[in-house]
């Protein structure tokens, strides 16, 4: 797998530009990651109080990315209740616009994943737009949609923004895959990593990349906690 050298994502607004390769240490970047997630967690209820920054997303063909994507109703369980619709949306999008799904976990109200784009292709946004649209069409319990959302062709199930981190190297990839697989335990959705059904962890076990009891031993859990 190849990774980009010295990529930069520019933050336009109050936050300074953040380097994803030769800039701040990973822990500092993770602090911003948690800060961004905190904004996502409260975006719906505090939209009037929090002005979200604008992003100029990196256009880098063949790159590998970590994503966090959330639904608007952070108290619901729409994604796991309609997991078949979500799987169909991913499968159809991968058929139309291929990408290599390295790891994924689906929680009730958000998902994390890592995917690798094909050489010469840098279009993450269109893929997410298609996944969101296909899932929304397959779900019958749609909330009321405001005029502004209709004008933007959004159905109101998903939060408009998503977190996108460009993977820098194999070590960065391993840390994010660990984060993905341990996420259900972190959020209290399951007692062990293996207990959560909606995770690529089970594929990693079948392929012999991880033991069945991964996350129950001290080393990987401690490594993840050090990042938070």
Integer Rg of the chain from CA? 17
Query: Cα separation of 215 and 203, whole Å?
Result: 15
Reduced to 3 states, what is the DSSP secondary structure of residue 127?
helix
Residues with Cβ < 8 Å from 160, sequence gap 6 or more?
A: 152, 154
Distance of CA 225 to the CA centre of its chain: 19
Phi and psi for 4 in degrees, rounded to 5? -75, 155
Indicate the pairing of strand 18-19 with strand 64-70: unpaired
Is residue 26 among the annotated active site residues? no
3-state secondary structure 128-180: HHHHHHHHHHHCCCCCCCCHHHHHCCCCCCECCCCEEEECCCHHHHHHHHHHH
- Residue tagged active-site, from 32, 179, 198, 204: 198
Q: How many CB atoms neighbour CB 160 within 10 A?
A: 12
Q: Which residues are catalytic?
A: 198
């Amino acid at each position: 797998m190849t990774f980009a050298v010295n990529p930069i994502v520019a933050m336009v607004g109050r936050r300074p530009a953040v380097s994803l390769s030769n800039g701040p240490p990973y822990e500092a970047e993770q602090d911003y990651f948690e800060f961004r997630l905190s904004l996502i967690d409260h975006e719906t209820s505090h939209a009037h109080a929090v002005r979200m920054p604008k992003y100029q997303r990196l256009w880098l063909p063949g790159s590998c990315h970590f994503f966090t994507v959330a639904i608007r109703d952070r108290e619901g369980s729409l994604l796991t209740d309609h997991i078949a619709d979500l799987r169909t949306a991913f499968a159809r999008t991968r058929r139309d616009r291929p990408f290599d799904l390295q790891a994924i976990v689906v929680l009730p109200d958000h998902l994390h994943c890592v995917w690798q784009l094909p050489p010469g292709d840098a279009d993450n946004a269109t893929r997410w737009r298609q996944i969101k649209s296909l899932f929304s069409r397959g779900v019958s319990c749609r909330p009321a949609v405001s005029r502004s959302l209709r004008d933007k062709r959004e159905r109101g199930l998903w939060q408009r923004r998503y977190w996108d981190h460009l993977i820098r190297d194999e070590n960065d990839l391993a840390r994010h895959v660990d984060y993905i697989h341990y996420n259900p335990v972190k959020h209290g959705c399951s007692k062990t990593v293996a207990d959560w059904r909606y995770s690529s962890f089970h594929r990693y076990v079948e392929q012999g990349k991880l033991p069945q009891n991964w996350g129950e031993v001290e080393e990987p859990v401690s490594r993840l906690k050090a990042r938070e």
